[in-house]
Amino acid sequence: MNDSRIYEDLRRENEELRLQLEEATDTIEAIRTGQVDALVVKGPNEEHQLYTLKTADQNYRVFIEKMNEGAVTLNQEGLIVYCNTMFAQIIGLPLSGIIGAAFESFVSPECLDVFRDVFGKGWTGDSKTEIDVLDGSRYVPCLLSVTTLQLDEGPALSVIITDLSFQKETQQLLKSKNASLAAINAELEASNHDLQQFASVASHDLQEPLRKILIFSTMLRDKHELSDRSAMFLEKIISSSERMRAMIIDILSYSRLSTNENYFELISLQEVVTEVLDDYEILIKEKNATFVIEELPRIEANRGQIKQVFQNLISNSLKFSHPDKPPVIKIASRKVGKGMYRTTLTDNGIGFDEKYRDKIFSLFERLNAKDKFEGSGIGLAITKKIIDKHNGTIAALSRAEEGATFIITLPRYQPNQ
């Protein structure tokens, strides 16, 4: 056989293969776009079988083609008689390499039993499962949704394939983030416990020397003759020590509010406010203060903490009263929204510049000179933290020399109680 004959044979075989490929490509395109409703597939016994989709109109084909999921139709032997472009993208093959192939050839060996099980069940009812589908050299996690589909020559299986890669990656990332969050929370809990222990020990250890300073300073003042200058210095020592003791107690109170433990019960705000007014009876008389208390509701709260809120607010109203007029303090409450109560405390004191209305709730924040008004600067920070722990809000409105209004919003019932 000469070289020209071999060349001619190869050229003819190549041309035949090219024509077959073009025919296969045209056939697949026609099926994909709905131009034809049938497909002839050679069976295992060299017999040709005709498959026709009863619902294969053009609109249906266009819908399947536009899906974000892969879609294939299988005959009873598990051969693919139709697939859309998305499935071809999932497994990374051209349509010509998919039509007529066994779906099993694209399933990972570890998932074959699972696929065969859902393939068998799919003929009697809808079924779903997760398997890994081959994409080149790797396997892609996919969800198979299987249902029966009637063809002219008998039933077939319609299989929708959803790529779960992004979902699995997201789940894994979420799992990792949750684990990190749990570890951080554990560290924070341990840190909070250590801080609470430190605050408790430090406050106790600091109060003891302060107590002695106050005792001995008071003894010096009361039992010894001192010059005016020495007496003035001693009064400053006593005043500073008392302020330090109040600050230590407030810091300890604030640190204890960081714990998650809380006990809520149904309490009367009316009774709580009445108790606070009884506690401040002497100071109220000294200031010649007038209180106007409207009917206050019953809410679910920690009684001791809510009492501390009103102690701080009423104490501030009395402390920052106007020097030229007696204090008038009004407390009222009304229902707002579903299951919420808004309680307002309004006074006619010296007030503050409204630009500081958020700043006043910060720790150690003072708007007035400490030598003019006593206090640690922690009271309103404690008040806000208590309200936060009660799933409420607190805000302040004021103008200098025109009094102040504190607005507290609290739920009638605490969630999950």
Domain hosting 323: range is: 262-417
pLDDT of res. 416: 73
pLDDT of res. 151: 67
pLDDT of res. 223: 81
| Domain stop point among 118, 148, 163 | 163
| Domain stop point among 144, 163, 182 | 163
Residues 17 and 106 in one domain: yes
pLDDT of res. 371: 44
Q: Which of 75-89, 309-323, 351-365, 391-405 has the lowest mean pLDDT?
A: 351-365
Radius of gyration from C-alpha coordinates of the chain:
41
Q: pTM for this structure?
A: 0.46
Residues 182 and 141 in one domain: no
**pLDDT single digits (tens) 343-401:** 999 999 888 877 767 778 775 454 544 444 454 457 788 889 889 989 999 998 888 88
Residues 221 and 286 in one domain: no
Residues 134 and 45 in one domain: yes
Residues 296 and 380 in one domain: yes
Residue 244 to residue 319: CA distance in whole angstroms: 18
Secondary structure tally for the chain: helices H, strands E: 10, 14
Tally of domains in the chain: 3
**pLDDT single digits (tens) 10-68:** 777 777 766 766 665 666 566 555 555 555 555 556 655 555 555 444 555 666 676 77
Residues 257 and 281 in one domain: no
Residues 295 and 401 in one domain: yes
pLDDT of res. 309: 92
Angle at 250 between CA 245 and CA 253, to 5 degrees: 130
Residues 216 and 297 in one domain: no
Residue 292 to residue 284: CA distance in whole angstroms: 13
Residue 79 to residue 73: CA distance in whole angstroms: 8
Residue 38 phi, psi dihedral angles, 5° rounding: -145, 160
Which of these, 166, 173, 168, 107, lies nearest to 134 by C-alpha position? Answer: 107
pLDDT of res. 322: 86
Q: Contact, 376 vs 364, CB < 8 A?
A: yes
| Domain stop point among 163, 195, 214 | 163
Give me the CATH number covering residue 199: 1.10.287
Task: Work out the average pLDDT over 224-243.
Answer: 82
297-307 in b/e form (b: 16+ CB < 10 A) is eebbbbbebbb
Which of these, 345, 336, 329, lies nearest to 397 by C-alpha position? Answer: 345
Q: Which of 43-52, 93-102, 131-140 has the lowest mean pLDDT?
A: 43-52
Q: Which residue has the higher pLDDT, 146 or 54?
A: 146
Structure tokens at 47: 């017999």
Residues 18 and 145 in one domain: yes
Residues 151 and 177 in one domain: no
CA 261 to chain centre: 21
**pLDDT single digits (tens) 261-298:** 677 889 999 999 998 998 888 889 999 999 999 999 99
Q: Who contacts 139 (Cβ-Cβ below 8 Å, separation ≥6)?
A: 108, 132, 133
Tell me the residue type at 198: F
Residues 388 and 282 in one domain: yes
pLDDT of res. 393: 93
Give me the CATH number covering residue 85: 3.30.450.20
Q: How confident is the model at residue 3 (pLDDT cuts 50, 70, 90)?
A: low
Give me the CATH number covering residue 319: 3.30.565.10
Residues 256 and 267 in one domain: no
SS3 label, residue 382:
helix
